[in-house]
Copies of this chain bind each other. A is one copy, B any other.
Amino acid sequence: MSNMLRESPYPMVSIADATAMIMAHTQPLGSEEIDALTALGRVLATDIAAPEDIPDVPKAAMDGYALRAGDGLAPRRVVGELTAGGDTTVALGPGEATRIMTGAPMPPGADAMIPVELTEERDGMLFIKRELKPGDYVHVVGQDVARGQIALTAGTILGAADIGILATLGLTRISVYRRPRVAVLATGDEVVEPGETRPGGAVRDSNRYALMAAVREAGGEPISLGIARDDIAVQRQAILRGLEQADVLITSGGVSMGTRDLIKPLLAELGTVHFGRIAFKPGKPTTFATVNGKLVFGLPGFPVSSLVSFEVFVRPALRALQGDARPFRPHVEVTLDSPITPAPDRPEYQRIIVTYRAGRLFATSTGGQGSSRILSLRGANGLLLVPAGETVYPVGSVLPALLTGPLLSEG
């Protein structure tokens, strides 16, 4: 033995440099055409120009009466009733009005309408109390969407309203970016499936399942590569199998300096390692490589290191691969509700709960921040960026943070 290294051969890079190197190798994947009505969460690959005016004809904006504004306050003879979707209409002459329901096309001859609340109808005659101008209460052609207008732009993450916009325009097939396929490989002789009997001292494979869930949350399609034992031929084969199927490969464990840490040499053999150490806690040995143009992330084996490194380095890449115009989490400043102890040697992303209160964002620590303490992620909706140092930040200090989930609010 004794390729247990005393010092890593990889230079330490900053968080910013690591991010820049990853994003420099990340371009949106191709697009695919899908059913617009089930496109929730997908990212639009093209601008969408409205093919027609909405509404396409002038319509009643409320329930009431269509009439001619020029008739003034004179009573009108009620000559019919028009409903949205009704198949008849009536041409209005001077002194005439017709009942009209919201959304019904305005009849020929009418140039305004009046809401029912402002009227009386007796013996077939309409009485109004307010003079009208042409166009009053009329929903005009193109008022909601004008023909040719860009209704949605490329890079939009499609939400419920966007699906409504596409349906309104009759666009049932759209072009979206492909979701990245992301293969996830666990490594380690000590790692067993969560559902199996666990020999004493062994650890259950939480990382692969947590990472696959995180991939799904990030819009990717996770592929499980199972657990590879600490054998270079076995791990090489698993990595190659993953790269065949996937756009991105994530490995868990095997990136430290122990004798069984085989991932970095393997990635150097198969492709290019862009960095192998980040000045960052938790997750210093996080590794980024490209193999045949595909992205490979070697994440550390401790559960917290694995998920925090995913959040900070992998998630933005997965978002950018699917064309998200804003691949990064929102960054804010938070006021500490609990004191924070920095790491002496490296900037650290500590897990916090961010609460909005009286105009400001406050952060509470999730407790002990050890790399193995997965409970430090429980309930966290933010990552606090704590600069390296020796001095505890007291309550009331202000530090930068990423928001990784919805804010809490009080009251």
A residues lining the B interface (CB < 8 Å): 1-2, 4-7, 36-37, 40, 55-57, 59, 61, 63, 81, 83-86, 99, 101-105, 116-117, 119, 121, 139, 143-145, 151-152, 156, 159-172, 188-191, 194-195, 198, 200-207, 209-211, 213-214, 216-217, 229-230, 256-260, 301, 303, 307, 326, 329-333, 356, 359-360, 370, 372-375, 377-380, 398, 403, 405-409, 411
Q: How far is the CB of A287 from chain B (nearest CB, A)?
A: 16
The answer to whether A84 and B190 touch (CB under 8 A), given A163-B210, A301-B103, A407-B330, is yes
Q: Are B209 and A163 in contact (CB under 8 A)?
A: yes
Q: Are A139 and B257 in contact (CB under 8 A)?
A: no
Q: Are B206 and A164 in contact (CB under 8 A)?
A: yes
Most buried by B among A103, A190, A331, A398: A103
Q: Tell me how many chains of this kind the complex includes.
A: 2
Interface of chain A: mostly helix, strand, loop or mixed: loop
Residues of B within 8 A of A256 (CB): 63, 102
Closest to A359 in B: B333
Residues of B within 8 A of A37 (CB): 194, 209
Q: How far is the CB of A299 from chain B (nearest CB, A)?
A: 12
Residues of B within 8 A of A170 (CB): 194-195, 198, 204
Q: Are B209 and A63 in contact (CB under 8 A)?
A: no
CA distance A303 to B151 in the complex (A): 15
